Amino acid sequence: MAADNAEQIAPETCPTAAGMPMLGLGTWQNDSPEECAESVRTALETGYRHIDTAQAYDNEEAVGEGIAAADVDREDVFLATKVWLSNLAYDDVLETARESIDRLGVEYVDLLYVHWPARTYDPAETLDAFSELHEEGLIENVGVSNFQPEQLKEAVERCDAPILANQVELHPLLPQEEIRDACAAHDVEVVAYSPIARGDVFDQPEIQEIADKHDVSEAQVSLAWLREIGVTSIPKATGEDHIRDNWESLALELDQDDIETIDAIEETDRKVDPEFGLWN
């Protein structure tokens, strides 16, 4: 598919999960203010309607500038950010979430995540603060990130506001079946970060074969597979070519053989593995 065909894929053709567009723009490590703002603007004018950032990315202001510069109404953008693990005490959540909203230049965010259940995270204090922000209308939805099944169950039971999503590393080399099953059991959506395994899907023979078969990029194959299994993806992209290539994945329909081939990949490779990860 030619790159300019991205313009033929309308925003409304992107499937949604509980109102959340299932393909978004990730902004991790996009810390050049000018480049970040431009990538967000480009993504929105290409058709994206889901933008993901975090306090720890140090780019919320630039993300907000990109949203403001785009010829897209704020109300049409699903905007997510995350509270860092040093800010998860009750008062710190309330204070830093408001600071995030101010930096983004908006009146509310559509989804606020607990970035990691670590360090200052306390289910009662942290989630009570998130629920208060939800009641005040400063956040439309509560999310968690990097939660394992046990912590997800606890959070769902403890949080007064419904939990919309659990954002985890997920790609063909880390399919996370247990977490996906737990999320389904609790009616929680799954959002995949690093959905192309930080580029490693390009070197995976099975993915290469499917990409050649459909005359698309390996990134598109990975993103289409995620969509087929009901997972939202937020691939990071800065340049216009990659932003458009990822968007074109919406036009790719994998057949059952393709899906089974990807599901059968035995190699596993976790890309994000901090010492405070609950799996360690």
Residues with catalytic function: 57
Q: Distance between alpha carbon 45 and the CA centroid of its chain, in Å? A: 19
Q: What's phi and psi for 276, nearest 5 deg?
A: -90, 0
| Strands 16-17 vs 20-21: parallel, antiparallel or unpaired | antiparallel
Closest among 279, 236, 278 to 116, alpha carbons compared: 278
What does the block give as tokens for 34? 């000018």
| Strands 232-233 vs 189-193: parallel, antiparallel or unpaired | parallel
CB burial string 111-147: b at 16+ within 10 A, e below: bbbbbbbbebbebebbbbbbbbbbeeebbbbbbbbbb
Question: Cα–Cα distances in Å, from 43 out to 131, 223, 228, 239?
Answer: 31, 16, 22, 10
Sign of torsion, CA 53 80 104 13?
positive
